[in-house]
């Protein structure tokens, strides 16, 4: 049976569960104690391939092991084209977080956030910026890569002092693969319009980022998200298939696979594929946030997305789903996720897909 919103009785039951035996105040099992980066000691259930006494370093965006070189680096956030004509995307399976928002005309674009770009292949196609994607990047203290942008986005990049590198209005486009931060992919140029051909890769990002850019977070920076192995929310409702409508053009579908403990992603009625590997994208955590999306009334049909007023949403992990609340104090701040009764949301160790949909839209699950 398909469901649209949790009934009040179930929401109250979840609140009571959280208070009596859920994530809130219950005595934690040492193997599932949430870890918040910056806290000591870090307690995370190690994977089967790790030694039981593994103490880090950890990827702050996923709660998974990472090399010490990348632990405190500023992540790289890359604008990703999501038009049907530009698919498949490439390199998005390596992103620690994927954010998807509406652009104009009902289409969506994505922002892939990478704590480490080591061994990441081609990433693309890289597309143009919108102002609210800047706010997503700023929330991670990220270095932002894009190819073009709205005039408002360009103005905000300057006034907000965003560390943004642009293929279109800059000196970062090379004539051939690997010759600069960005280039036009030869294979894409054979059957795609020029705006769908801009790509980069992990090696180019490491090589061509300007020396003037700060590479590491400031010493007082902490990404305050908690992780636990598994991560299925206590008291969650069964959700093996979650459908997320952005517009009449795009609905995302997330289908839980027991074997991998991930949600496999579909869009446009097909598997969402990484063109580098040919494999379907799978994610450990699915978050849906409802935010006000309003037209700007300019000639291009651009919109605004309100990312600082907070609101409601849903969280799915391990085949279970619960309602959540979200907030973002200002454009530079991180998202804060809580359960419906105000407890900090604990994610499963692994990657995250954040869907930001209009406030009037409702997801369905079964």
pLDDT one-digit tens code per residue, 152-187:
999 999 999 999 999 999 899 999 999 999 999 999
Distance in Å from the first CA to the final CA of the chain: 6
Stronger pLDDT, 22 or 150, i.e. the higher one: 150
Contact yes or no for 243/253 (Cβ under 8 A): yes
Stronger pLDDT, 97 or 28, i.e. the higher one: 97
pLDDT surpassing 50 at residue 6:
no
Token duo for residue 329: 């104090």
> What is the reported pLDDT for 56?
82
> What is the reported pLDDT for 54?
73
Helix (H, G, I), strand (E, B) or coil at 361: coil
Contact yes or no for 127/110 (Cβ under 8 A): no
Cα gap 272→267, rounded to integer Å: 6
Residue 51 confidence class, pLDDT cut points 50, 70, 90? very low
> What is the reported pLDDT for 131?
98
Nearest to 62 by CA among 90, 92, 98: 98
pLDDT digits (tens, 9 = 90+) for 340-353: 999 999 999 999 99
pLDDT surpassing 80 at residue 47:
no
Residue 55 confidence class, pLDDT cut points 50, 70, 90? confident
């Amino acid at each position: 049976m398909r469901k649209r919103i949790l009934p009040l009785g179930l929401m109250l039951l979840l609140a009571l569960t959280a208070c009596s035996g859920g994530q809130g105040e219950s005595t934690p099992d040492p193997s599932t104690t949430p870890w918040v980066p910056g806290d000591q000691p870090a307690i995370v259930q190690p994977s089967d391939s790790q030694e039981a006494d593994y103490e880090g370093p950890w990827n702050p965006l996923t709660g998974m092991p990472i090399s010490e070189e990348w632990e405190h680096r500023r992540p790289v956030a890359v604008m990703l084209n999501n038009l049907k004509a530009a698919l498949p995307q490439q390199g998005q399976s390596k992103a620690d977080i994927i954010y998807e928002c509406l652009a104009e005309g009902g289409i969506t674009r994505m922002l892939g956030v990478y704590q480490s770009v080591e061994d990441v292949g081609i990433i693309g196609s890289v597309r143009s910026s919108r102002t609210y994607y800047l706010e997503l990047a700023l929330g991670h203290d990220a270095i932002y890569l894009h190819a073009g942008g709205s005039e408002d986005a360009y103005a905000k990049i300057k006034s907000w002092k965003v560390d943004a590198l642009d293929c279109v209005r800059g000196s970062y486009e090379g004539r051939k693969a690997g010759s600069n931060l960005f280039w036009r992919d030869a294979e894409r140029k054979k059957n795609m319009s020029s705006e769908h051909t801009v790509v980069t890769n992990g090696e180019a990002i490491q090589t061509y980022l300007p020396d003037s850019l700060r590479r590491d977070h400031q010493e007082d920076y902490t990404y305050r998200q908690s992780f636990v192995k598994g991560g299925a929310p206590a008291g969650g409702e069964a959700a093996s298939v979650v459908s997320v409508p952005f517009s009449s053009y795009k609905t995302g579908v997330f289908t839980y696979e027991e074997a991998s403990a991930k949600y496999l992603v579909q869009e446009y009625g097909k598997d969402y594929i990484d063109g580098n590997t040919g494999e379907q994208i799978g994610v450990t955590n699915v978050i849906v946030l409802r935010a006000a999306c309003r037209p700007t009334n300019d000639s291009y049909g651009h919109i605004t997305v309100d990312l600082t007023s907070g609101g409601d949403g849903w969280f799915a992990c391990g085949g279970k789903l619960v309602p959540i609340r979200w907030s973002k104090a200002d454009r530079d701040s991180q998202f804060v996720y809580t359960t419906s009764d105000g407890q900090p949301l604990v994610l499963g160790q692994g990657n995250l897909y954040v869907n930001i949909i209009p406030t009037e839209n409702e997801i369905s699950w079964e």
